[in-house]
């Protein structure tokens, strides 16, 4: 059966191959935006992405087909193409179950576990509760940094404190 998974041409990717690729090139990220209209003042935005150079655009398309969700976009900041999933439903139903069945073997695994916890809280709408949101922020900022952060953690927590009062 293994042979049928050979990723040639338009063929399927093997699920373990996907996990290995993500170990190197994938990012589990939780970012935040100020949203005065929300009661807690802060929007929580989890995302899963894989960044590759233009020569691997086909591979990103195979990845999108593999997961059956998400999109591909060009990232000006680092001149790569990103396969990206932001939908909470897709993260809960498609992305997280994959990495639970075919777990990461390296240090990224700890990031994934924090990410999965946050996504499940968001899915249950706990991110609209200031106490949960505080925990979400702490957890998100304890993940391995990838790229610049828009806000310092303390600024977010201070903002949250103001909204709560």
Binding site for a second copy (CB under 8 A): 5-8, 13-25, 52-53, 55-56, 58-59, 62, 102-107, 144
Q: Which residue(s) pair with 25 in the sheet? A: none
In whole angstroms, the minimum distance from the beta carbon of 58 to a second copy comes to: 7
Between 11 and 124, CB nearer to a second copy:
11
34/101 with CB nearer a second copy: 101
How distant, in Å, are the alpha carbons of 1, 44, 155 from that of 29?
Answer: 35, 11, 18
Dist CA 118 CA 139 (whole Å)? 8
In angstroms, give the least distance from the CB of 76 to a second copy. Answer: 21
| Distance (Å, whole) CA 112 – CA 59 | 22
* Pair 35, 156: CB distance under 8 Å: no
Task: Determine the Cα–Cα distance for residues 103 and 90; give it in Å rounded to an integer.
Answer: 18
Select 35 or 65, whichever has its Cβ closest to a second copy: 65
Q: Smallest distance, Å, CB 50 to a second copy?
A: 9
Cα(35)–Cα(63) distance, rounded to whole angstroms? 32
The least distance separating a second copy from the CB of residue 162, rounded to whole angstroms, comes to: 35
Q: Which two tokens stand for residue 28?
A: 């589990």
**Residue nearer to a second copy on the CB measure, 18 or 40:** 18
Nearer to a second copy, 5 or 151 (CB): 5
For the CB of residue 105, give the shortest distance to a second copy in the complex, in Å. Answer: 3
């Amino acid at each position: 059966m293994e042979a049928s998974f050979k990723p040639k041409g338009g063929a399927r990717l093997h699920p373990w191959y996907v996990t290995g690729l993500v170990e190197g090139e994938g990012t589990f990220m939780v970012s935040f935006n100020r949203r005065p209209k929300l009661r807690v003042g802060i929007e929580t935005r989890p995302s899963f992405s894989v960044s590759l150079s233009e020569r691997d655009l086909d591979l990103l398309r195979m990845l999108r087909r593999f997961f059956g969700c998400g999109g591909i976009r060009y990232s000006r900041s680092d001149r790569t193409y990103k396969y990206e999933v932001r939908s909470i439903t897709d993260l809960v139903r498609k992305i997280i179950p994959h990495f639970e069945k075919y777990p990461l073997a390296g240090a990224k695994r700890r990031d994934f576990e924090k990410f999965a916890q946050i996504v499940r809280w968001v899915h249950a709408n706990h991110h609209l509760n200031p106490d949960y949101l505080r925990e979400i922020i702490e957890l998100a900022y304890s993940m391995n940094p990838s790229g610049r952060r828009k806000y310092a953690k303390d600024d977010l927590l201070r903002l949250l404190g103001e909204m709560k009062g």
